[in-house]
């Protein structure tokens, strides 16, 4: 299969503690170019190659930046969401660890595009070991004139601040993340007002994922259009994915869109441990949908995965082999959401609890047909009426499993199938 190194092209090529080392491989050339361009021409470039948000929402990145630019208001903010709390997802970690200066450069460029004065990196608690790395990168960027006042003599003022979360999964949601930065309990709030109009400290805010931002400097320097030539259909370019579970070589891989799921699992990730059969594959983390082995020859693109009943989401792929039953997997997944729900809205708080109780009844062989119908109804109500994305997507795995593995939910049937 074709191997492409675009977003990961800097990995291993410079000393991540030295801005001088980064500049020797062309670091900050993209920023120097960006400040000579019209801001909207940069967002148009990103839109032209159809970059979608890499955090899971899949929102058009170029459109997001241009919309943020259009919002009227002073002291705008760009937030880099590094709260990578989705299970089986760890690709942003690799970008922070292997290319921190590129991320800093990307945030500065985003600030220039939207007309912001401040950038915030919100990093998950478990990544605290990378705080010194990023703080050093921020400090050196400021000492070289890439942060602060009148950057590169263009009258552009911008600073970056680093915040760490306290380990709450729900803070991956934009409004909960913003409340956490503000020193409040990390709980989602109602919208409107939308973040782009009133975000952190009531300032106009543009919130982007680590991978989404990290693409930008590479695109600005991609004169040979390597990125645009990769992919399939409307899924242009490359994607960082993280593969975990019962595979021989779990890890983070950069793939061109169009690579099949089979190639990802059996070539990049080294196949299933001891050649066992695959029970299920979950795409996009704990809030993602599941599929069986029939999806293996599906190309990894937004369109093809959606047609197959799953989604790219956060870029995580979890492979579960035959040793784990569908029911045991769902119970494990449900324990996670029951623990991580903030409890603020009734559909999510009560829905997660009651679905957990019904799954436990299934494991004991005591569930009735009415229990199964009620569980399905609760899951659908959660997806339609929860306050934030956690409650809306918490039952994606359950609802998709009910379609893909109907025998599991047949009362009196083989619930371990």
Residue 247 is classified by DSSP as B
Give pLDDT, residue 240: 97
Q: For position 352, what pLDDT does the model report?
A: 96
> Which residue do the tokens 């903030």 mark?
342
Q: Considering only 2-6, 139-143, 264-268, which range has the smallest mean pLDDT?
A: 2-6
CA distance linking residue 341 with residue 382, whole number of Å? 12
Give the pLDDT confidence of 337-355 residue by residue, as tens digits. 999 999 999 999 999 999 9
Q: CA 113 → CA 35, 76, 372, distances in Å?
A: 9, 11, 50
DSSP string, 200-230: GGGS-EEEEEHHHHHHHHHHHT-TT-HHHHS
CB 53 within 8 A of CB 284: no
Contact by Cβ (8 Å): 267, 1: yes
Residues 6+ apart with CB under 8 A from 168: 85, 176, 180, 186, 340, 342
One DSSP character per residue, 2-66 reads ----STTTTTTSS-TT-HHHHHHTTTTHHHHHHTTS-HHHHHHHHHHTTPBPTTTT--BHHHHHH
Task: Please give the average per-residue pLDDT across 299-312, as a whole number.
Answer: 96
Q: Residue 415: what pLDDT? A: 42
The model's pLDDT over 74-120, given as tens digits with 9 standing for 90+, comes to 899 999 999 998 989 999 999 999 999 999 999 999 999 999 999 99
3-state DSSP helix/strand/coil percent for the chain, to nearest 5? 45, 15, 35
Query: What pLDDT was estimated at residue 269?
Result: 98
Structure tokens at 237: 């370019």
Max Cα-Cα span within the chain: 73
DSSP per residue, 64-122: HHHHHHHS--SSEEEEEEE---STT--HHHHHHHH-HHHHHHHHHHHHHHHTEEEEEEE
Contact of 346 with 352, CB cutoff 8 Å: no
Q: Which residues of 36-49 are buried (b: 16+ CB within 10 A; e: fewer)?
A: eeebeebbebbbeb
pLDDT at 58: 87
Among 211, 198, 199, 33, residue whose Cα is nearest residue 112: 33
Report the percentage of the chain scoring pLDDT > 90.
Answer: 93
The band of 61, judged by pLDDT with boundaries at 50, 70 and 90, is very high
Q: What are phi and psi of 401, to 5 degrees?
A: -65, -35
State yes or no: pLDDT of 412 exceeds 60.
no
pLDDT given for residue 324 in this prediction: 97
Span 165-213, pLDDT tens digits: 988 999 999 999 999 999 999 999 988 899 999 999 999 999 999 999 9
What rounded mean pLDDT belongs to the chain?
Answer: 95
How far is residue 147's CA from residue 145's CA, in Å, rounded to a whole number?
A: 5
Question: Residue 413 — pLDDT band, cuts 50, 70, 90?
Answer: very low
User: DSSP labels for 397-413?
Assistant: HHHHHHHH-GGGGSTTS
Q: For residue 417, name the pLDDT band (cuts at 50, 70, 90).
A: very low
How far apart are alpha carbons 172 and 110 in whole angstroms?
20
Spell out the domains of the chain, with CATH numbers in brackets: 19-226 (3.40.50.11540), 230-321 (3.10.20.600), 326-409 (1.20.1440.230)
Q: How far is CA 147 from the centre of its chain?
A: 26
């Amino acid at each position: 299969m074709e191997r492409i190194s675009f977003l990961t092209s800097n990995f291993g090529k410079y000393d991540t503690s030295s801005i001088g080392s980064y500049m020797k491989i062309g670091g900050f050339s993209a920023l120097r170019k960006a400040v000579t361009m019209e801001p909207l021409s940069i967002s148009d470039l990103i839109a032209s190659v159809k970059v979608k948000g890499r955090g899971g929402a899949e929102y058009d990145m170029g459109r997001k930046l241009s919309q943020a630019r259009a919002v009227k208001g002073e002291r705008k903010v760009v937030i880099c969401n590094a709260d990578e709390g989705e299970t089986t997802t760890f690709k942003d970690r690799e970008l922070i660890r292997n290319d921190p200066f590129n991320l800093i450069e990307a945030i500065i460029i985003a600030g220039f595009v939207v007309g912001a004065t401040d950038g915030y990196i919100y990093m998950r608690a478990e990544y605290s070991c990378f705080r010194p790395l990023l703080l050093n990168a921020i400090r050196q960027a400021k000492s070289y004139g890439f942060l602060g006042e009148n950057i590169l003599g263009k009258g552009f003022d911008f600073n970056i601040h680093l915040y760490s979360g306290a380990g709450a999964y729900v803070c991956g949601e934009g409004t909960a993340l913003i409340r956490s930065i503000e020193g409040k309990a990390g709980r989602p709030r109602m919208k409107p007002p939308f973040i782009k109009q009133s975000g952190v400290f009531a300032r106009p805010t543009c919130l982007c994922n680590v991978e989404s931002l990290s693409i930008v400097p590479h695109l600005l320097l991609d004169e040979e259009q390597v990125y645009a030539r990769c992919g399939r259909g409307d899924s242009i370019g490359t994607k960082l994915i993280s593969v975990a579970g019962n595979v021989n070589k779990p890890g983070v891989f950069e793939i061109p869109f169009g690579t099949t799921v089979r190639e990802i699992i059996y070539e990049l990730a080294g196949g299933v441990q001891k050649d066992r059969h695959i029970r299920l594959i979950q795409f996009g983390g704990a809030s993602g949908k599941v599929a069986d082995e029939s999806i293996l020859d599906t190309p990894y693109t937004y369109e093809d995965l959606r047609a197959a009943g799953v989604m790219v989401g956060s870029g995580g792929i979890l492979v579960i082999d035959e040793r784990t039953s569908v029911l045991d997997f769902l119970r494990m997944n449900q324990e996670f959401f029951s623990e991580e729900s903030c409890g603020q809205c009734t559909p999510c708080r009560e829905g997660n609890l009651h679905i957990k109780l019904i799954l436990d009844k299934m494991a004991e062989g005591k569930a009735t047909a009415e229990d199964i119908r009620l569980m399905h109804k609760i899951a659908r109500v959660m997806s339609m009426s929860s306050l934030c994305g956690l409650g809306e997507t918490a039952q994606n795995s359950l609802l998709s499993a009910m379609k893909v593995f109907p025998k599991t939910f047949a009362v009196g049937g083989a619930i371990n199938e």
